[in-house]
Amino acid sequence: MIRRITYRAATPETPTAVNWRLRGACTEVDPELMFPSTKQVEIDAAKDVCRRCPVLAQCLKDILAAEGGKDPAARHGIVAGLTPTERRKIWRQSKKDTA
């Protein structure tokens, strides 16, 4: 007997959707905001966007996997509420925890 399974396409509302990025709070702001200068007020403004983001956990998981052990100089912008240096620190700690 052959079973036919109908799959629904993922939508932005689907919690496990590949296109979770469409639900990011950063999609509602000027992209330049997420790439601040070294001024703390600009960094804090970008981090505030991430703090209210409904997909923060997915974003963090994705960026840590994508950047891996890259040097902070090769990382850019505020992503998942973290600076490039903060992301590298978390990635390194996660590698120590699994070792």
Per-residue pLDDT of the chain (99 residues; tens, 9 = 90+): 554 444 444 444 555 556 888 899 999 999 999 999 999 999 999 999 999 999 999 999 999 988 887 777 788 999 999 999 999 999 989 888 776
Whether 13 maps to a domain, the answer reads: no
Amino acid, res. 24? G
Separation of alpha carbons 25 and 14, rounded Å: 16
Whether 69 maps to a domain, the answer reads: yes
Whether 8 maps to a domain, the answer reads: no
Separation of alpha carbons 38 and 20, rounded Å: 29
Whether 6 maps to a domain, the answer reads: no
Q: What is the pTM of this model?
A: 0.76
Containing structural domain, residue 55: 20-98
For residue 7, count other CB atoms closer than 10 A to its CB: 5
Structure tokens belonging to residue 75 = 């990382």
Whether 51 maps to a domain, the answer reads: yes
Domain count, the chain: 1
- Is residue 19 within 8 Å of 12, Cβ to Cβ? yes
Whether 7 maps to a domain, the answer reads: no
